[in-house]
Amino acid sequence: MSWEDEISELRKRQALARGMGGPDKLARQKAAGRLNVRERLDLLLDPGSFREIGSITGTAQTGADGALESFTPANCVFGRGRMSGRDVAVVADDFTVRGGAADAAIIDKQIQAETMAGELGLPLIRLIEGTGGGGSVKSILDMGASYVPFNPGWDQVTANLERVPVVSLALGPVAGLGAARAVSSHYCVMVKGQSQMFIAGPPVVAGIGEHVTKEELGGADVQLAAGAADDAYASEADAMAAARWFLSYLPDRAGEAAPRGAVTDDPVRSDPALRAIIPRDKRYGYDMRAILNSVCDAGSVFEMGRHFGSSVITALARLDGWPVAVLASNPNVYGGGWTAEAAQKVTRFVDLAETFRLPVTHFVDIPGFVIGARAERAGTIRHGARALSAIYQASVPWCTILIRKAFGVAGAAMMNHTRFRYRYAWPSGDWGSLPLEGGVEAAFKAALEQSDDPGAMKADLAARMRDLASPFRTAERFWIEEIIDPAETRSVLTEFARLAAPLRTRARDVPQCRYRP
């Protein structure tokens, strides 16, 4: 007795499933410049490492004699594989089968992919193309009724944000539930000119009187500026390389320590050029990214979200091989002032650091919140207060480098001042409740108005206050813990990373972080 016939049937079905949507649909996918789902899995994962689950899920057509005549696979492929030697869970849409929309099988496959990642503690990679939701309104004809909307498996999508690293790659047009899945991740990447992301596509949007192309509605430039996507790259290969780089800084699951990378850079390396990088004229900016590249391990700075809330820089990096979360001001945008968007960016990034226990290094040059009518209409103070709360709720080790300005409520967001203040200042430090440039006029308005020589009085007051505002005066009171030579910044940061290393797993008395997209 043998089961050779059944095994032959299995192999036949698997071969048909690997044919995806058939030659015509595959040719159309190729003509659009996009890889098919099998090519994507081959590109993403280590050769031969993919173990598919649900390989023959789909719809079979049989003849009168019961023999298999044709087979249409489900348009979701998932399983386990390795990426740079690391086990990951992968779920991928097949656009060549019903445009990636849901069918009777895709819902359960997506749910199982999410559940597998969460329960086994595997980083999750989503390769998204299509709606990934209920498909067309034509489904009403198939079902014989219309259903009340629900998001299948959303409990697992939400739970995974607090369990494992989640990366979503939008690799073509992505709409509806597919777009919601894309942004419900720790890192969302698009492909320039190839992927678009929207709540509803152009045909639906035309119903409200807007006639736009896919690119105008939800292209990479649109979603990067909106903060819905973190990065966009020129090709699928580049997007996947970014996903690998991002994951290299994170542990497999929340609660574990992220691995230390190779130690290839001198931990006490100094950089005398940093002594002259800050202009004496406070009206001028400078290159904060040059500072980050100088003090972090060579080639390790991985910036995310450059095009949203761009007065703040968020990046992952290494210090003496140890992975850290880097938060930094960008003085070339609003002078480093916090906008509503910048505050949202800070909140999400601090939540990421807290979820995966990454020590934070904060490079501060914050003149305060951006002010004016536009800032008020954007709800800047509410978003800013949320960011401040995220910083004060964080329990991960935190080190602050005060580069230049720190004023007002936003300036106080440099760290939670009630914790141990692991903080250093450069001699260029300039802080207070308000900058002297506008603060003197505000504080002494009545006296200046009554003065016989308001200009001379203002100059005298400003000179006296400049002397008192010296960072050395602050250090005398121990209101700033230590002033350092900028050239030696790397050595104090690598020391911080070493001391923080044992604290990168969650202590029992620390509550679980509630991460939100």
In sequence order, the β-bridge partners of residue 90 are 79, 125
* Domain spans of the chain, in order of start: 37-55+74-247, 272-433+471-503
Average pLDDT along the chain? 90
Selection from 16-25, 148-157, 293-302, 405-414 with the highest mean pLDDT: 293-302
Q: Residue 316: pLDDT above 70?
A: yes
User: pLDDT above 70 covers what percent of the chain?
Assistant: 90
Report the pLDDT averaged over residues 18-42. 92
Q: Residue 61: pLDDT above 70?
A: yes
Report the pLDDT averaged over residues 396-415. 95
pLDDT, position 164: 97
Long-range contacts of 84-89 (CB under 8 A, 24+ apart): 84/46, 84/244, 84/248, 85/46, 86/123, 86/247, 86/252, 87/122, 87/252, 88/45, 88/122, 88/123, 88/124, 88/125, 88/247, 89/113, 89/116, 89/117, 89/120, 89/122, 89/123, 89/124, 89/125
Which residue did the predictor score with more confidence, 149 or 491?
A: 491
Q: What is the pTM of this model?
A: 0.90
Q: Give the CATH superfamily of 272-433+471-503.
A: 2-enoyl-CoA Hydratase; Chain A, domain 1 (3.90.226.10)
pLDDT, position 149: 76
- Lowest average pLDDT, out of 181-190, 243-252, 323-332, 425-434, goes to 425-434
Per-residue confidence at 103, pLDDT binned at 50, 70, 90? Answer: low
Which residue did the predictor score with more confidence, 359 or 454?
A: 359
* 37-55+74-247 and 272-433+471-503 share one fold: yes
pLDDT, position 451: 77
Per-residue confidence at 286, pLDDT binned at 50, 70, 90? Answer: very high
Q: Residue 402: pLDDT above 90?
A: yes
Q: Are strands 86-93 and 76-83 parallel, antiparallel or unpaired?
A: antiparallel
Per-residue confidence at 248, pLDDT binned at 50, 70, 90? Answer: very high
Architecture of the domain whose range is 37-55+74-247: Alpha-Beta Complex (3.90)
